């Protein structure tokens, strides 16, 4: 079933510039571009007056919890949250139960994704069961179209095994994404290690736990020549090391999460486990460094680390509560805010939320071998797959956890006034969100 849609009156955000133009979508692709296009007969009209039109967002880091964690989220509800947040593609983290470390589980998640509102690409586990002992069948999973592998939740602790995984992935042209925290340093910690954690009597996860593994893996990536992606980087020193490695030509990219550039460890002072996350919320110096880095274009991608949890996993003593917080429905606004709100550079905004993450996840080409996954993070040229988002950058709204599309409610931004809104989301030529409401 093909539908025709016209996006009227918006400002298109191209890879290097912006321009005023209408877009007509037909047969799932951008069919026409131009100023003042006539409305085709029977077309759906999306009003983009005063809004930016760009490639829909791509999240490198979403926990969709299925299979095994359906009390917190399902692929369907996570995908709905993504559409509401302006996303057309999500990389689903493999720390499900069972983990995505075999063809049947990966195929199951792909199938659930096909039935959802957007495109879901599972990440495969690097090691069997994410136990850090034995390599997962990356080659078999790659045959299903998986290109991004991680043991996220924990990092691969053993340096020898990580080196072997990088060599193996390189041979298959895959990217390894690492949750950088050395468990021998992070241990049982449940917040940033600092004067505040000492005062609260909470065991700390020190910055050095992250930085030591970032340093190690940058050297391993350089040594092996494999492609490495650093997940949820959270400290100034981690960012500096990644930039320095990139300058040396190491094939490394890095993401930051909105919570790491928005919230500080002070949020933990009231022992509310909503703010418990790994790596932990850091001090204001690190948060400021990430904001500056984001603004300066030093950070490749903004990723959510969307981590839904059922209430009973959070309504617990802080040290026993599950780590992680929601992100898909607030990431755009928080990134916009960090980049300057209404004054933000739209090119940079779409670069970090869409174009670069699409590139990192290998989602920039329409690839029939990959079960009809379409191309994301595109340049809006005629003939490209219509994965588009239309966003306002001036309206404000207050986060209410009961309004979230996600099944879970563990947002750390409850009651916060956010700038910007996702007006429409188009996934593979189909309008999935119109004026902030789902179309089905």
Q: What residues are annotated to the active site?
A: 305
Cα atoms in the Cβ-side hemisphere of radius 13 Å centred on 19: 14
Work out how close the CB of 285 gets to another protein at its nearest, in angstroms, rounded to a whole number: 15
Work out how close the CB of 97 gets to another protein at its nearest, in angstroms, rounded to a whole number: 19
Backbone angles phi, psi at 329, to 5 degrees: -90, 0
Of 19 and 195, nearer to another protein (C-beta) is: 195
Closest by CA to 332, choosing from 358, 308, 304, is: 304
The contacts found for 238-246 with CB under 8 angstroms, 24 or more apart, are 238/180, 238/207, 238/210, 238/211, 238/214, 239/289, 239/290, 239/293, 239/298, 239/299, 241/211, 241/214, 241/215, 242/214, 242/218, 243/298, 245/218, 245/221
Work out how close the CB of 271 gets to another protein at its nearest, in angstroms, rounded to a whole number: 3
Asked if 241 and 220 count as a contact pair (C-beta separation under 8 A), the reply is no
Closest by CA to 427, choosing from 89, 16, 37, 184, is: 89
Of 237 and 359, nearer to another protein (C-beta) is: 237
Of 38 and 315, nearer to another protein (C-beta) is: 315
Give the torsion sign (CA, 339, 341, 345, 349). positive
Of 84 and 314, nearer to another protein (C-beta) is: 314
Work out how close the CB of 275 gets to another protein at its nearest, in angstroms, rounded to a whole number: 12
Of 216 and 409, nearer to another protein (C-beta) is: 409
Total Cβ atoms within 10 A of residue 369: 9
Work out how close the CB of 282 gets to another protein at its nearest, in angstroms, rounded to a whole number: 16
Of 107 and 203, nearer to another protein (C-beta) is: 203
Total Cβ atoms within 10 A of residue 145: 17
Give the residues lining the site for another protein (CB under 8 A): 194-195, 198-203, 270-272, 312, 315-320
Total Cβ atoms within 10 A of residue 3: 14
Q: How far is CA 305 from the centre of its chain?
A: 6
Looking at the DSSP bridge assignments, the partners of residue 306 are 62, 325
Work out how close the CB of 384 gets to another protein at its nearest, in angstroms, rounded to a whole number: 51
Closest by CA to 285, choosing from 239, 227, 327, 353, is: 239
């Amino acid at each position: 079933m093909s539908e025709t849609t016209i996006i009227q009156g918006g400002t298109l955000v191209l890879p290097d510039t912006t321009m005023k133009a209408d877009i007509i979508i037909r047969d799932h692709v951008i069919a026409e571009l131009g100023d003042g296009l006539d409305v085709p007969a029977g077309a759906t009209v999306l009003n983009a007056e005063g809004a930016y039109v760009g490639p829909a967002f791509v999240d490198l880091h979403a926990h969709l919890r299925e299979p095994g964690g359906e009390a917190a989220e399902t692929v369907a509800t996570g995908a709905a949250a993504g559409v509401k947040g302006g996303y057309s593609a999500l990389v689903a983290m493999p720390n499900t139960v069972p983990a995505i470390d075999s063809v049947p589980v990966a195929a199951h998640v792909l199938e659930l994704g096909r039935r959802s509102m957007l495109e879901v690409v599972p990440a495969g586990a690097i090691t069997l069961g994410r136990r850090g002992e034995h390599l997962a069948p990356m080659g078999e999973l790659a045959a299903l179209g998986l290109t991004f592998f991680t043991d996220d939740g924990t990092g691969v602790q053993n340096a020898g095994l990580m080196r072997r995984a990088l060599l193996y992935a390189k041979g298959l042209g895959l990217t390894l994404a690492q949750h950088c925290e050395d468990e021998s340093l992070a241990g049982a910690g449940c917040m940033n290690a600092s004067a505040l954690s000492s005062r609260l009597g909470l065991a700390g996860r020190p910055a050095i736990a992250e930085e030591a593994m970032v340093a190690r893996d940058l050297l391993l990536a350089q040594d092996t020549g494999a492609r490495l992606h650093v997940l949820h980087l959270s400290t100034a020193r981690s960012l500096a090391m990644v930039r320095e490695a990139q300058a040396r030509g190491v094939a490394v990219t890095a993401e930051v999460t909105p919570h790491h550039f928005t919230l500080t460890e002070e949020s933990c002072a009231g022992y509310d486990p909503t703010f418990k996350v790994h790596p932990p919320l850091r001090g204001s110096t690190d948060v400021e460094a990430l904001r500056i880095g984001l603004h300066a274009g030093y950070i490749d991608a903004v990723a959510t680390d969307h981590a839904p949890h059922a209430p009973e996993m959070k309504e617990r003593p802080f040290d026993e509560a599950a780590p992680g917080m929601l992100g898909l429905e607030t990431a755009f606004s928080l990134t916009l805010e960090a980049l300057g709100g209404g004054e933000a550079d739209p090119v940079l905004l779409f670069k970090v939320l869409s174009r670069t993450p699409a590139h990192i996840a290998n989602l920039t080409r329409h690839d029939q071998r990959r079960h009809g996954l379409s191309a994301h993070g595109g340049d809006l040229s005629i003939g490209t797959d219509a994965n588009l988002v239309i966003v306002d950058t001036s309206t404000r709204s207050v986060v209410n956890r009961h309004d979230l599309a996600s099944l879970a409610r563990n947002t750390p931004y409850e009651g916060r006034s956010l700038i910007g809104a996702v007006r429409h989301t188009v996934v593979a030529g189909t309008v999935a969100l119109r004026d902030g409401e789902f179309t089905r």
